[in-house]
Amino acid sequence: MRIALVSDAWAPQVNGVVRTLMTTVEHLRAQGHTVDPITPDQFRTVPCPSYPEIRLAFGSGRAVAARLAEARADAIHIASEGPLGWAARRWCMDRGIPFTTSFHTRFPDYVAMRSRLPADWFWPIVRRFHAPAARIFVATETLADELADRGLSHTHRWSRGVDLSLFGPDVAPLPALAAIEGPTLLSVGRVAVEKNIEAFLTAEVPGTKVVVGDGPARGVLEKRFPDAIFTGALHGERLAAAYAAADLFIFPSLTDTFGLVMIEALASGVPVAGFPVRGPIDIIGPTGQGMFGGNARIGALDEDLAAAIRLAVTADPAACAAEGRRYSWDRCTGQFLDGLAPVRVPQRRGLIERDYRTDRSKLYV
């Protein structure tokens, strides 16, 4: 199957969306599918206002159209609401070609935080972007419910996975973190205002706070919180070793749609503390015992982050690792394929649509 994947989020950006997309592409190719990513690194870009680490490919409509025409894809998935995503959406709609989208980021909340304008002002843009899609891929059922409340009910579940060959409870701790005064409290992700890292750094709890990641807020936070350790971005084995060095993982974000780093922490045997909002509650569960019928605590959620941290310390590391192992990338890749909308290709006597999920073709005359 040939799949065109259009995304404004791609390497060298470092975030959960990029890791999700690149891992999915890797697994699709391993299964024998052909994937043509259409991403910012293929175009001239400009820095995103207030977030220069993100490059945006403005004025790329014709180039995107050419790439899509050349791809001759059996299915087109648009993964982001940026300039490339809008250009691909326009190309598909102009030709009556079905496409799918995914909702990775609470774009209205992020813009509201940076502009100090109400998030509701930006939801019409999101609805307009996703409404024509055959399906909108979402990571959790609660996110599907949220979008339905916003008038976008045509959603499809696409969960997330963990690389269990990399993240696990038996990984050796990162040497730079192994000797610090414990307990070691770890946060991993973009160091940006929307990640609410300040709530973690101001929580009055014992231990050493470690922030792994980079972003526009790092310099300010490093100066304000000199007792915290900022490592910058870590990848691969070094990232896995950072999880292994932690006693507790803190996820302070209020706006994430999932939180890939939480399941990586769990797979590493590290309990998670956070706020009881969408994302954490879909992984840690309302009782702190996960989402797969477990009977042991794997973390804690509370409106008072310090209280959540104090309770999460009592969680069972073995139960955490068992919960993390339930998140399979192979299963997620299957969900991705199941949600795609096959492209109808004009033929002499009609339209032939091939359903690649059942390997059957249908003739439309």
pLDDT of residue 345: 57
Burial 189-213 (b: 16+ CB within 10 A, else e): bbbbbbbbbebbbebebebbbbbbb
Q: Is the per-residue pLDDT at 356 higher than 70?
A: no
Report the range of poorest mean pLDDT among 57-66, 156-165, 242-251.
Answer: 57-66
Q: CB of 350 within 8 A of CB of 365?
A: yes
Nearest to 275 by CA among 286, 261, 260, 264: 286
Q: Is the per-residue pLDDT at 131 higher than 60?
A: yes
Q: Chain-wide mean pLDDT for the chain?
A: 91
pLDDT in tens, 195-250: 999 999 999 999 999 999 999 999 999 999 999 999 999 999 999 999 999 999 99
CA separation for the pair 211, 202 (Å, rounded): 13
- The CATH architecture that domain 175-324 belongs to is 3-Layer(aba) Sandwich (3.40)
Global confidence as pTM: 0.87
Residue-level length of the chain: 365
pLDDT interval class at 286 (50, 70, 90):
very high
CA separation for the pair 184, 177 (Å, rounded): 8
3-state secondary structure at position 355: strand
Domain chopping of the chain, boundaries: 2-161+331-364, 175-324
Q: Once rounded to an integer, what is the mean pLDDT over residues 66-87?
A: 96
Matching CATH topology for 2-161+331-364 and 175-324? yes
Q: Dihedrals φ, ψ of 250, to 5°? A: -110, 125
pLDDT in tens, 339-348: 999 997 554 3
pLDDT in tens, 238-283: 999 999 999 999 999 998 999 999 999 999 999 999 999 999 999 9
CATH assignment of 2-161+331-364, given 3.10.180.10, 3.40.50.2000, 3.40.309.10, 3.90.245.10?
A: 3.40.50.2000
